[in-house]
Amino acid sequence: MPLTPEQRAEIDASRLTPSQTSRPTVPALEAILFTPTELLDHGFVRVVDYMGDDGAIVQAARVSYGRGTKKVSEDTGLIRYLMRHRHSTPFEMCEIKFHVKLPVFVARQWIRHRMANVNEYSARYSILDREFYLPDPQQVSAQSVSNRQGRAGALSPEKAAEVLDLLRQDAARCYDHYETMLDPEGYGLARELARMNLTLNTYTQWYWKIDLHNLLHFLSLRADSHAQYEIRVYAEAMLDILRAWVPITAQAFEDYRLGAFTFSSGMMSVLRRQLAGETVLQSESGLSKREWDEMQAALSRG
Amino acid sequence: MPLTPEQRAEIDASRLTPSQTSRPTVPALEAILFTPTELLDHGFVRVVDYMGDDGAIVQAARVSYGRGTKKVSEDTGLIRYLMRHRHSTPFEMCEIKFHVKLPVFVARQWIRHRMANVNEYSARYSILDREFYLPDPQQVSAQSVSNRQGRAGALSPEKAAEVLDLLRQDAARCYDHYETMLDPEGYGLARELARMNLTLNTYTQWYWKIDLHNLLHFLSLRADSHAQYEIRVYAEAMLDILRAWVPITAQAFEDYRLGAFTFSSGMMSVLRRQLAGETVLQSESGLSKREWDEMQAALSRG
Amino acid sequence: MPLTPEQRAEIDASRLTPSQTSRPTVPALEAILFTPTELLDHGFVRVVDYMGDDGAIVQAARVSYGRGTKKVSEDTGLIRYLMRHRHSTPFEMCEIKFHVKLPVFVARQWIRHRMANVNEYSARYSILDREFYLPDPQQVSAQSVSNRQGRAGALSPEKAAEVLDLLRQDAARCYDHYETMLDPEGYGLARELARMNLTLNTYTQWYWKIDLHNLLHFLSLRADSHAQYEIRVYAEAMLDILRAWVPITAQAFEDYRLGAFTFSSGMMSVLRRQLAGETVLQSESGLSKREWDEMQAALSRG
Amino acid sequence: MPLTPEQRAEIDASRLTPSQTSRPTVPALEAILFTPTELLDHGFVRVVDYMGDDGAIVQAARVSYGRGTKKVSEDTGLIRYLMRHRHSTPFEMCEIKFHVKLPVFVARQWIRHRMANVNEYSARYSILDREFYLPDPQQVSAQSVSNRQGRAGALSPEKAAEVLDLLRQDAARCYDHYETMLDPEGYGLARELARMNLTLNTYTQWYWKIDLHNLLHFLSLRADSHAQYEIRVYAEAMLDILRAWVPITAQAFEDYRLGAFTFSSGMMSVLRRQLAGETVLQSESGLSKREWDEMQAALSRG
């Protein structure tokens, strides 16, 4: 249960008094504004504010005086053209602000995307809640052998349960001692020091604001199958939000980025030979085994 | 007259249909949304969109669930504290988007502020209008002798008129030939080439989006007396917009940044001696002549 | 003749006194350090400083204590893997600094790449030289009809000569009046004002420093056939410099980026059908005419 | 003991073979290149590479052809002018690359400085060492009452010892279980999951590259008395490195930034009254109690 009744009440209060605005407004996004999408065991992502819509991209690309929308079909064509040819600046003209609750080890991956604005809850200034991430048993997975930075299948239910016991007990004991050290009647240790005793699955939270171009870049990396599951679930939730916010852009993004595959100059040579009817073997393709496999996987995905 | 009737009609059409939104909304900014503030002879700046308000800064600084506003006095205190101690991230949580029309030589200064998003009208793709900046006669100023990158007083009315004639004739002739070279019935030269014949006072326009922290940085440099007059008028117009948008932040900015002065460690030593009643001469101050003058100027400004 | 004897002497003096360093050093780049590659009629690009080499990328990717180089073949494999999978951070660990002389209208395109450091020669502070770009007659090209932001074939020699006359005369006259207005014995106009009379083909110069990741991004856009010729010649010269500096990275870049083509999800479907032996028509491909043509062009390029 | 003999051997090997270079070279920095400055109980910072020197700042500011150095006194004057007037771009023309070993909770503060390049040791890909930060007993401090994000004096030696026992035992147990979970003969848990059991005082390491302007900004915040002790020791070590690398810039930085104090417009009014001989009370100063105290503290520091 990620949200307390008090937090829900605070969120609900935000929604009570809509205002009039002349700004571009997206009803489908207004409908989910402030509402948390719950993730993992205690996490969430929710939209706190946004600027712009599909039309704002067109408007900026044309540097126009008015809303710039002529026909939906023309706007769609332009947005798809901009996406296909990797024009980035018109997409930078939309902005979105999220409130995210996430485990610290996920936050450490996430923050590597520098082209965003962040305000994180400060454990120097405040005390973190007793909340830490424990994976679903099906997510308690073995180290992959083929991929040094990936995971293979789930451990057996018994082993998973034992691992979860270790994680739970260590996180709980560390948090207990965090409280012990902080207790003003006891040690009264400085918060900026006590926090170092917490485990990396402790939840933190932040406000995170990013423009649409950089959000798409984030999603292309983090909604990808190579991303760690625990950050991918956030990216996938944000992909749903994207579809509500800028549906034309979201569709273009899925067609030209998420579902796309880049062929190297060597792969292009192989492809040309194959399309000409030639049977090409890896050994005579000029591609490394790894590249060959990546190409075959992309072509067979269907 | 910077705007044609068609452009005005386009702008007016944007305002016709306000929407309902649950986002933070600033009535004083809605009132001037889309409306150009006219500047120089053909320029303008107008707000096209915005995200956040004073409350959003507080909300982000507290990473809160709701609007986060307790009492106005507390919010004011927090914003002033953040400004005084140069906390930048909460101010990054607000964003504003402008449409600006400005001479090319001003655009070249402006673009040096990299932490912003820009879509400029493309002279590769489109044809620029016949509009070039000619200063007011009072702004036709002599080179400063003391400041290599500044201007002194205005030229005499006669000399100013002659200078303006040169500027007007050269810009007009260059534009005439730009049209001659572009004419599809004549040379039909590529737009991307023909544009090189235009003078640097030709007007261009762009959409420019920036977060509040970086906007304040821009304003602190460009609303300053050392900035060139032709960019300063834009900064001053944006300072008025700032006051409408985030009045508490704008006041803190004027108190702690625009009206502030930084004393170096050497100046602090002098100050301490002076406050202790000592009369300090420049020659025995440890400050260079230039630093001494800067300090005296700041103290006498009143 | 882009360089005066005085400038050449200054450059030559830089090279006289090599120092000892323990930093990664690239002999092939040292050999061309400071030497301008001359471009267009008055432009140049030259390397002023650099940090890192191919090995530094490997070292950073491994966060290693020493130079990190095991075998060249392993390093090559790692760099190619990083390039193929768009890992950006290890490439950010190399840095290069250029001194570039270029026409203002090219500088305006160039500066849009924000992830770089720039110091431009200041026309507020100093007086620009009488140098403006006049294209080679073969580059005086007609506007493309099919591509709104491109050029078609060259104008006839007669028309090109007339266009060049217009460009030359206008630039010269504007520069004459720039001098007239600046003359301290005459108008003595402020430099920051007088410069607005110059045409956009006037040469400027700057120091430009960028990390290798962002340099590759710049080159992928500006060494491309869609880039305007006048910026492309700079990008191509920098590509040669890249090959001298980081040869393994340069080769990977050409294989996986410059020579690559990205197939959208729709194109991938078509490709799978074609490889299965089916003949696919554009009308039944699900691709727009434009996408279809782009795909066919990529496949036939060979 | 932060470095193993193997790591020392790797570092020593880097230094064996100096090369000839025509690049700006700083003997005082070459002398400490690669050598770790040891910090905290297992941390270090060491310079891995650098670009530029004091002269390079002058050279860029002048956009000059040669080294640009005329007289040392002129260069010093220019650098001090640039620092005093907050010109940032010439300082961006120098770059430095560090290898840093630091506790995760320090890394989380540090990474908030986005204008830098980072390659961190990956705990998805590799296994972290059994090293965690335990403060010196004198640094085991109580929570400050007056400053919510600061610490007060040290706990009693007995209490400090008990706190250190808790920290040591929890970190050790968590690391033991990390190994248990990773063991390929046992659970064989994926590294990307097992790492979440580690405590926030675990050491990580990274390559961190930054330009001189942004380094000064980092140091102005992190070498400050308000910074947490555990990051301040790194900043102070880097300040020593700065003095070796760019001595003129370092001195200007200490005079105009570190030792400087900014008076708000309200403080300036008070100052003017005081210098005119008036006795001003806080109650009639127009300053808040907090601002008044900050001003008095700055003036009495001397």
CA atoms of A266 and D133, how far apart (whole Å): 49
Judged by CB atoms closer than 8 Å, whether chains meet at D192 and A111 is answered as: no
CA atoms of B177 and B130, how far apart (whole Å): 11
Q: How much is the average pLDDT of C165-194?
A: 97
pLDDT, tens digit (0-9, with 9 covering 90-100), for C111-151: 999 999 999 999 999 999 999 999 999 999 999 998 888 89
Per-residue pLDDT at C267 exceeds 60: yes
pLDDT at A70: 60
Chain C closest CA to D44's CA: distance in Å?
12
Phi, psi of D230 (to 5 degrees): -70, -20
- The reply, when asked if residue B14 is annotated as ligand binding, is no
Per-residue pLDDT at D74 exceeds 90: no
Q: How much is the average pLDDT of B121-149?
A: 94
Judged by CB atoms closer than 8 Å, whether chains meet at B150 and C111 is answered as: no
- Residues of chain D found within 8 Å of residue C28, distances taken between Cβ atoms: none
Nearest by Cα to B265 from C142, A159, D262: D262
CA atoms of A223 and A220, how far apart (whole Å): 6
pLDDT at A1: 54
pLDDT at B248: 97
Res. D15 pLDDT band, cuts 50 70 90: confident
Out of D262, D269, D275, closest to residue B274 by CB: D275
Nearest by Cα to C117 from C45, C206, C208: C208
Res. A172 pLDDT band, cuts 50 70 90: very high
Burial of residue A72, with CB atoms counted within 10 A of its CB: 0-12 exposed, 13-18 middle, 19 or more buried: exposed
Chain D closest CA to C124's CA: distance in Å?
13
Residue in C closest to D125 by C-alpha:
C62
Chain C closest CA to D172's CA: distance in Å?
25
Cβ atoms of residues A2 and B1 within 8 Å: no
- Amino acid A256 reads Y
Per-residue pLDDT at C85 exceeds 70: yes
pLDDT, tens digit (0-9, with 9 covering 90-100), for C227-248: 999 999 999 999 999 999 999 9
For β-strands B95-103 and B261-263, DSSP reports them as unpaired
Judged by CB atoms closer than 8 Å, whether chains meet at A198 and D200 is answered as: yes
ipTM: 0.94
CA atoms of D238 and D245, how far apart (whole Å): 10
Out of D254, D262, D265, closest to residue B262 by CB: D262
Judged by CB atoms closer than 8 Å, whether chains meet at D262 and B256 is answered as: yes
Per-residue pLDDT at B186 exceeds 60: yes
Judged by CB atoms closer than 8 Å, whether chains meet at A275 and C299 is answered as: yes
Q: How many CB atoms lie within 10 A of CB D252?
A: 22
- Residues of chain C found within 8 Å of residue D24, distances taken between Cβ atoms: 49
Residue in C closest to D10 by C-alpha:
C66
- Residues of chain C found within 8 Å of residue B174, distances taken between Cβ atoms: 170, 174, 199
Chain C closest CA to D137's CA: distance in Å?
30
Judged by CB atoms closer than 8 Å, whether chains meet at C180 and B166 is answered as: yes
Q: SS3 of A156, please? A: coil
Cβ atoms of residues D231 and D222 within 8 Å: yes
Query: Which residue in this structure is represented by tokens 């996938």?
Result: A236
The DSSP call for residue D36 is P
**Structure tokens of A117?**
């604005």
Q: How much is the average pLDDT of A205-231?
A: 96
Residue in D130, D222, D257, D273 annotated catalytic: D222
Judged by CB atoms closer than 8 Å, whether chains meet at B187 and C162 is answered as: yes
Res. A66 pLDDT band, cuts 50 70 90: confident
Best of A126, A127, A143 to substitute, by most chain D Cβ atoms within 10 angstroms, is A143
Checking B242-246 for CB contacts under 8 A at 24+ apart, the result is: B242/B215, B244/B26, B244/B28, B244/B29, B244/B31, B244/B32, B245/B26, B245/B28, B245/B29, B245/B47, B245/B50, B245/B53, B245/B94, B245/B96, B246/B26, B246/B52, B246/B53, B246/B54, B246/B57, B246/B94, B246/B212
Cβ atoms of residues A43 and A101 within 8 Å: yes
pLDDT at D102: 98
Per-residue pLDDT at C1 exceeds 60: no
CA atoms of D221 and D235, how far apart (whole Å): 9
Best of B78, B218, B256 to substitute, by most chain D Cβ atoms within 10 angstroms, is B256
The number of angstroms, rounded, from the C-alpha of D276 to the middle of its chain's C-alpha atoms is 41
- Residues of chain D found within 8 Å of residue B264, distances taken between Cβ atoms: 84, 255-256, 259-260
Res. B69 pLDDT band, cuts 50 70 90: low
Out of C89, C275, C301, closest to residue A275 by CB: C275
CA atoms of C262 and C299, how far apart (whole Å): 11
Res. C35 pLDDT band, cuts 50 70 90: very high
Active site residues of C: 222
Res. A57 pLDDT band, cuts 50 70 90: very high
Res. B140 pLDDT band, cuts 50 70 90: very high
Per-residue pLDDT at B302 exceeds 70: no
Query: What is the set of domains in chain B, with CATH numbers?
Result: 5-132+201-258 (3.30.1360.170), 265-301 (no CATH)
Out of C15, C20, C33, closest to residue D18 by CB: C20
DSSP D40-78: TTTEEEEEEEEE--HHHHHHHHTT-SS-----HHHHHHH
- Amino acid C216 reads L
- The reply, when asked if residue B212 is annotated as ligand binding, is yes
The number of angstroms, rounded, from the C-alpha of A123 to the middle of its chain's C-alpha atoms is 23
pLDDT, tens digit (0-9, with 9 covering 90-100), for B12-53: 887 778 899 999 999 999 999 999 999 999 999 999 999 999
Res. A69 pLDDT band, cuts 50 70 90: low
Q: Which residues of D touch B (CB under 8 A)?
A: 81, 84, 89, 112, 254-256, 258-269, 271-272, 274-275, 288, 290-291, 294, 298-299, 301-302
Residue in D closest to A159 by C-alpha:
D187
Active site residues of B: 222
Judged by CB atoms closer than 8 Å, whether chains meet at A262 and C261 is answered as: yes
Residue in A closest to D105 by C-alpha:
A196
Judged by CB atoms closer than 8 Å, whether chains meet at C155 and B187 is answered as: yes
pLDDT, tens digit (0-9, with 9 covering 90-100), for A72-123: 788 899 999 999 999 999 999 999 999 999 999 999 999 999 999 999 999 9
Chain A closest CA to D227's CA: distance in Å?
11
Helix axes A72-84, A54-62, angle to 10 degrees: 80
Judged by CB atoms closer than 8 Å, whether chains meet at C261 and A268 is answered as: yes
- Residues of chain B found within 8 Å of residue A119, distances taken between Cβ atoms: 60-61, 63, 89-90, 93
pLDDT at C12: 84
pLDDT at C122: 93
Contacts of residue C236, defined as CB under 8 A and 6 or more positions apart, other chains included, come to C223
B neighbour chains, 3+ CB pairs within 8 Å? A, C, D
pLDDT at B232: 98
D neighbour chains, 3+ CB pairs within 8 Å? A, B, C
- Residues of chain B found within 8 Å of residue C228, distances taken between Cβ atoms: 124, 192
Q: How much is the average pLDDT of C5-30?
A: 89
Res. B146 pLDDT band, cuts 50 70 90: confident
In whole numbers, what is the pLDDT of chain A averaged over residues? Answer: 94
- The reply, when asked if residue D133 is annotated as ligand binding, is no
Lowest model confidence (mean pLDDT) among B269-278, C211-220, C240-249, D13-22 = D13-22
B38, β-bridge pairs = B44
- The reply, when asked if residue D62 is annotated as ligand binding, is no
Judged by CB atoms closer than 8 Å, whether chains meet at B93 and A25 is answered as: no
Q: How much is the average pLDDT of D98-105?
A: 98
Out of A163, A189, A201, closest to residue D142 by CB: A189
- The reply, when asked if residue D85 is annotated as ligand binding, is no
pLDDT, tens digit (0-9, with 9 covering 90-100), for C90-120: 999 999 999 999 999 999 999 999 999 999 9
Judged by CB atoms closer than 8 Å, whether chains meet at A142 and D114 is answered as: no
3-state percent helix, strand, coil for chain B, nearest multiple of 5: 50, 15, 35
Judged by CB atoms closer than 8 Å, whether chains meet at D13 and C67 is answered as: yes
Judged by CB atoms closer than 8 Å, whether chains meet at C114 and B114 is answered as: yes
Beta strands in A222-274 (DSSP E): 261-263
The DSSP call for residue C147 is -
Per-residue pLDDT at A250 exceeds 80: yes
Q: D9 — alpha (psi -120 to 50), left (phi > 0) or beta?
A: alpha
Chain B closest CA to D177's CA: distance in Å?
33
- The reply, when asked if residue B79 is annotated as ligand binding, is no
The binding site of A for FAD consists of: 89, 112-114, 120, 211-213, 217
DSSP D143-190: EPSS-TT-EEEEPPHHHHHHHHHHHHHHHHHHHHHHHHHH-TTTT-B-
